[in-house]
Structure 1
Amino acid sequence: MSRFTELKREVYEANMELHTRNLVIYTWGNVSQIDRDASVIAIKPSGVPYEDLKPEHIVIVDMENTIVEGDMRPSSDTKTHTHLYRHFESIGGVTHTHSSYATAWAQAQMGIPCFGTTHADFAYGEVPCTAVMSDEQIQRDYEEETGVQITDAFAVINPEEVPMVIVAGHAPFTWGSNAAKSVYHAVVLEEMAKMAYLTKTLDPSRAPLKQAIIDKHYMRKHGKNAYYGQ
């Protein structure tokens, strides 16, 4: 039996949660989780429809993107995932989707402003949109450079406070303490993107929510004196 059986199971279940939540169709997404002690990640195989995915299909790769265990090729986005794990040392899971509303913001090349308290409960301010990838980056290593786009966008943003990003012209990535939490944030991001789109449709000139309310809602749930929940 593989020593990564449990890791594969968790990543399989996280990937299937995307399918259950209708955030992916066909093969449009992937989830990974890292085992930092073993310096490996488990990730969905490339191009496998969710209807056909099984736990044993999940691929194990090291932090240099070399296959450690598995008979299939890992997701084509693997280098983006490993880049994020190397640079965001507190995260344990990464999710990538092409969910409709979040991807619409990506195609518009716009960050998602914090218009209300629902957004503020999960992200401390705007969800940033990366810069558009340069021709030089495209010609180097597209998937690695996608990770560079993301980490560059977080030069002055705490990835724990904003666990999500819009990649310009592409689609969203989210992360969390494990694969399941990164999927949770992907679900939340899609709803935030939808609400923001509707807000801008109703009032194109609407400014972001005042900072004092953003502070209150984020801190009551995530701050050192948080009192939301049990």
Structure 2
Amino acid sequence: MLLQLRQAVLDANLELNRRGVVLYTWGNVSGIDREAGLIAIKPSGVDYAAMTVDDIVIVNLDNEVVWGEKKPSSDTRTHTALYRAFPQIGGVAHTHSTHAVAWAQARRAIPCLGTTQADYCAGEVPCTAPLPPEEVRRDYETATGDAIIRRFQALDPAAVPMVLVAGHGPFSWGTDADDAVRNAVILEEAARMATLTVTIAGRDPEPLEDYVLDYHYERKHGPNAWYGQGKK
């Protein structure tokens, strides 16, 4: 079932490992077939080195397994919450990458301090509020998705394809599983750069000027984007 999607999701999970933003079985990637309403996602607790395309699990948007012999990722309900809330996304990635987690543990958004971040995120990387205790007790993974959704009530998830969950870590998304992984890797590098910048400055630096931020974001992602070679 959905072999092409399962292969794409396997490749995306392995790319997380190759890029060094996950350790052991930490992290997970999923992709969705919107027409079918089905999601391919990493199995829970399976080492990246041992994972095959037949280990990838298919679930529906109600978190029911419809194909596969393994348990899906423990974060599945967070993924499905994001797919339901953000219909424009096609892939979700979650890691515990070092610098992004450090900012999440500090309960701090990553300010946009320079053009590198502006090229991929239209402003700061937001951080959610801590989860209420009753939501954690009721359904922690869905509550994690709900916290992200609440934080994005006034934000465009296409323009800001990444977030920090307070005390937990980063989630990112994109047009497909591969794009979600790319944004996860970029988020970790942006977090590392921000950490170094704050350390060198010895204080919280001024954010990048809005007009520079807008220029860099629009040249890659705006309606008249001109970065790269374009389509022939």
TM superposition score category, shorter chain reference:
over 0.9
Where does 1:20-99 land on structure 2 (aligned, <5 Å)?
20-99=18-97
Taking the aligned partners of 2:179 and 2:205, their CA distance within structure 1 comes to 31
Q: What TM-score comes out, normalization by structure 1 length?
A: 0.98
Alignment of 1:1-230 (within 5 A): 3-203=1-201, 204-230=203-229
Q: CA deviation at 1:52?
A: 1.1
Q: TM-score, normalised by structure 2?
A: 0.97
Give unmatched runs, 5+ long, in structure 1.
none
Spell out, residue by residue over 1:66-101, the C-alpha distance to the aligned partner (whole angstroms, 9 max, x if none): 000000000000000000000000000000000001
**Unaligned residue ranges in structure 2 (runs of 5+):** none
Deviations 1:148-177 (A, max 9, x none): 000111010100000000000001000000
Q: Structure 1: how far apart are the matches of 2:67 and 2:225?
A: 42
Runs of 4+ in 1 over 2 A off after TM superposition: none
Give secondary structure in 2 for the equivalent of 1:175: strand
SS in 2 for 1:161: coil
Determine helix, strand or coil for the equivalent of 2:187: helix
CA RMSD of aligned residues (A): 0.7
Residue identity opposite 1:175 in structure 2: W
1:5-45 per-position Cα deviation (integer Å, ceiling 9, x unaligned) = 11111100000000100111110000000011111100000
Q: How many residues align?
A: 228
Once the 2 structures are TM-superposed, how far is the Cα of residue 222 of structure 1 from its aligned partner?
A: 1.1
Task: Report how far residue 227 of structure 1 moved.
Answer: 1.0
The one-letter amino acid of 2:18's match is T
SS in structure 1 of the partner of residue 192 of structure 2: helix
Distance 1:196 1:61 in 2: 37
1:205 Cα deviation after fit: 2.9
Q: Partners of 2:210 and 2:189 in 1: how far apart?
A: 21
Superposed displacement of residue 181, structure 1:
0.3
Partner Cα separation in structure 2 for residue 11 and residue 221 of structure 1: 25
